[in-house]
A and B are shown apart, each in its own frame.
Chain A
Amino acid sequence: MTETDGSAPLVRLEGVNKHFGPLHVLKDIDLSVRRGEVVVVIGPSGGGKSTLCRLINRLETADSGTITFDGRELPAEGRALAQLRSEVGMVFQSFNLFAHKTILENVTLGPIKVRGIPRQQAEQRGRELLERVGIASQAAKYPAQLSGGQQQRTAIARALAMDPKMILFDEPTSALDPEMVQEVLDVMIGLARDGMTMMVVTHEMGFARRAADRVVFMADGQIVEEGEPSEFFSRPGTERARDFLSKILTH
């Protein structure tokens, strides 16, 4: 879908290692994501997928190696880090909407407090975004009053409100009831079509086939294999990937 245009990648990880206590969760990860690319990360649970995702906006810190975003190494802390995070959207498995704020306030908090956009303007944009993800009528409600699918679409709108250069999705549909998965995936497919740079950790192979430019298969803290979705799903190159796919695609 996207051409390699020779420009520097938006995200580049080089030789990244991460431990949780004695557990070596990421082992010498090298990965880059081009602008406009949709990278889907799949693999068995505990393989380091979520950690990889969380490293990019520094919700986790790497033990070694370098991570650059938009040509700069990730800032360690303070305002520079907050600035970086405002440019990288994040959608969580458990939605994490601000429980004490309405749906509209959830979407406008960042623009008002981080970007300094006037409230009225932020609210107008917020309503447009809620419209785009199909929940404009819920704007005045609180997160607990919405279904999981509606909450996750709000979370996507909240990320979009910051005009991020990239959005990270950490298992966005894993906590949803089955009948709500598709409405969230539809929004994500729309984003992918519009050219948003995305890294998506998911178990939704259908989404990977339809929207991904590249599939990265991770297991035991390593990138085992990566490639175009059609190629990867039809002819996985490694035994580990074949084994994984046979387990999830049979039912």
Chain B
Amino acid sequence: MEAVVDELPVILHAFWLTVRLTVISGLIALAWGTVLAAMRVSPLPVLRAAAAIYVNVLRNTPLTLIIVFCGLGLGTVMDVQFSRDDLSVNNFWLSTIGLSAYTAAFVCEVIRSGVNTVPMGQAEAARSIGLTFLQTLRLVILPQAVRAVIAPLGSLLIALTKNTTVAAAIGVAEAALRMKNLFDAHGDAVIPLFLGFAAGFVVLTLPVGLLFGWLSRRLAVAR
């Protein structure tokens, strides 16, 4: 227990990195996933096919592979650099790309299932007042679709929070990597440290689940 108290600043710092990874990746994944969902319901076969291929490739590849590809493939081989002199900044953004790209595939499918809950008549009414396809999607379909899938989006955010631990694979010093390092430094306090980190994740994710459950009831569209 002593080790947990002593290392609290390190632990909190690690979780702060976890939070940043989650929030940034989550926002990018939401935006990109929404674009993908729009492509999957668009009238253009090329866009539909491209989005379907993307979703199926990313969704069926283990996240570790994607993160390692971002670190080695994008970072080392293709020399995608976010900072020339700070490796940790570089790895942070490379892992963010991987997490966003992966999570977006799931966001896309969740939103697409939300689109299916919106009655056909809503789109017909939108088209019949002269809205274009994109306007219909943006103003009428997506707002209702997203409200229908708030709770599953919350589950995705929880999954993403825990998935950020995979960024340890390319040396991002988030909670999981820090925990491993602290195990090495405090071999006699493995269990307290483990419990401390586990509790940290519960503290992060439990409120997310509650918040999204509340939001989904509050924002539900009455029909």
Contacts and interface: CB of A to CB of B under 8 A. Distances in A.
B200 interface: no
A110 B121 contact: no
B112 interface: no
Interface in B192-223: 221-223
B132 interface: yes
B129 A114 contact: yes
A110 B130 CA distance: 7
Contacts of B144: 99-100
Contact of A96 (B125, B131, B147): B125
A86 interface: yes
Contacts of B147: 100
Contacts of B124: 59, 90, 92, 96
A94 interface: yes
A162 B125 CA distance: 13
Interface stretch (B23-31, B34-42, B100-108, B135-143): B135-143
Interface string B129-159: 1111001000110011001000000000000
Contacts of B130: 82-87, 110, 114, 162
A144 interface: yes
By size class, the interface of chain A is: 20 to 34
Contacts of B131: 82, 109-110, 113-114
Interface in A19-41: none
B135 A94 contact: no
A145 interface: yes
A100 B221 contact: yes
A105 to B, nearest CB: 10
A109 B121 CA distance: 16
Contacts of B223: 99, 144
Chain B, interface SS category: helix
B125 A86 contact: no
B139 A92 contact: no
B180 interface: no
Contacts of B74: none
Interface in A100-131: 100, 109-110, 113-114
Nearest to B143: A100
Nearest to B130: A86
Given A96-B121, A99-B221, A59 B128 contact: yes
A79 interface: yes
Interface of A: 57, 59, 78-79, 82-90, 92, 94-100, 109-110, 113-114, 142-145, 155, 158-159, 162
12 contacts: A59-B128, A82-B127, A84-B130, A86-B130, A89-B128, A90-B125, A96-B124, A97-B125, A99-B221, A109-B131, A110-B130, A114-B129
Interface of B: 119, 121-122, 124-132, 135, 139-140, 143-144, 147, 221-223
Given A59-B124, A109-B139, 11 more contacts: A79-B132, A82-B130, A82-B131, A90-B128, A94-B121, A98-B126, A99-B122, A113-B139, A114-B130, A143-B222, A144-B223
